[in-house]
Amino acid sequence: MRSWASVAWFLAPALVLFLVFVLAPIAVAVYTGFFTWGGAGPMDDFVGFRNYAKLFDDRVFLGDLGHGLYLITLSLTVQLPFALFTAVLLNQRLRGRAVYRMLFFAPYVLSEVVTAVLFSMIFLPGDGMADHLAGALGLEGLQGRWLADPTTVLPTLFVVMTWKYFGFHMMLFLAGLQGIPGEILEAAAIDGAGAWHRFRHVTLPLLGPTIRISAFLSVIGAVQLFDLVWVMTAGGPNHSSETMAISIFQFGFKRYQVGYASALSVVLFLISLIFSLFYQRYALRRDLSGAVTSGGGR
């Protein structure tokens, strides 16, 4: 009993914080989602699941889901492979590789707001660096359209996201690469495996846990993206760059439809939770069991 009391005493502060700042807001959001409420006064207009049913008839919400899927797809197929390629390159014996690592990782240290303001100036119509570069390359059709055209705003935002976050994933991959025993690669080389076969059949499988955690963080980050998009486009033009987080802010703090915004936030929470549980069930548990098995075998 004394040991249990000690455990409870040490866990109590963290549990209280978790209850107050995580579980309680989730419960309030779920409860508020059943009402039509403007954020002030009593919640007396109970509508049941009407807010949730309304979501799937909302063109903006369905567009938000599409935008999130678009960013996730590009992150997994472009950003992460680019980060992996850079990590493999900087894992070689190159002169000044520490400087390159620092330069590539530096954008991740900047806040999203600073990054958004910086690139808003770069993509400024007329006087921005992007327009001057497009003119020099003969791409005058892109001038002034980067953040103002529904067909170019999401790719432009993805370029900014990649500049901001690929260095973080690169460092994850570098840590994974440096954790691979050199003896395994040397044994594969002695057996006649070329550079590509060593990478394909030795490095990639051993890097699997790192790739999966990087993909998990990339997906969750794309689903919950807010600051960068809000500062650069506020979801425009015509909702073409809006994300679910921006919709929650718009409905909750701009239109004072707090009940509907709460329903949106619950859906966003459920999407993140389901994906996290799926990752834990099929990826994290497999990686941890493999680590325990290998550790026990030693």
The predicted-structure confidence for 227-262, as pLDDT tens digits, reads as follows 999 999 999 899 999 999 999 999 999 999 999 999
Low-confidence ranges of the chain (pLDDT < 50): 292-298
Whole-angstrom distance, CA of residue 255 vs CA of residue 133: 39
Query: In whole angstroms, what is the distance from residue 223 CA to residue 194 CA?
Result: 39
Give the class (CATH, top level) of 48-297: mainly alpha
- Phi first, then psi, for residue 46 (nearest 5°) are -75, 125
Q: How far apart are CA 231 and CA 247, in angstroms?
A: 14
| Average per-residue pLDDT for the chain | 90
Amino acid 18: pLDDT: 95
| First-residue to last-residue Cα distance in the chain | 36
Domain range summary for the chain, segments of one domain joined by +: 48-297
pLDDT at position 290, please?
58
Q: What is the DSSP letter of 141?
A: G
Which pLDDT belongs to residue 296?
Answer: 42
What's the pTM?
0.88
User: Where does residue 181 fall: left (phi above 0), alpha (psi -120 to 50 degrees), or beta otherwise?
Assistant: beta
Taking each helix axis as running N to C, give the angle between helix 208-223 and helix 258-279, from 0 to 180 degrees, rounded to the nearest 10.
170
pLDDT value at position 39?
A: 86
Of 216, 218, 242, nearest in space to 108 by CA: 218
CA pair distance 192, 13, nearest whole angstrom:
57
Whether omega for the bond prior to residue 155 falls within 30 degrees of 0, making it cis, is no
Q: What is the pLDDT of residue 291?
A: 54
Q: How many CB atoms lie within 10 A of CB 10?
A: 9
146 closest CA partner among 117, 119, 177, 172? 119
Q: Confirm if 222 and 72 have CB atoms less than 8 A apart.
A: yes
Question: Which candidate, 233, 139, 237, places its Cα nearest to that of 131?
Answer: 139
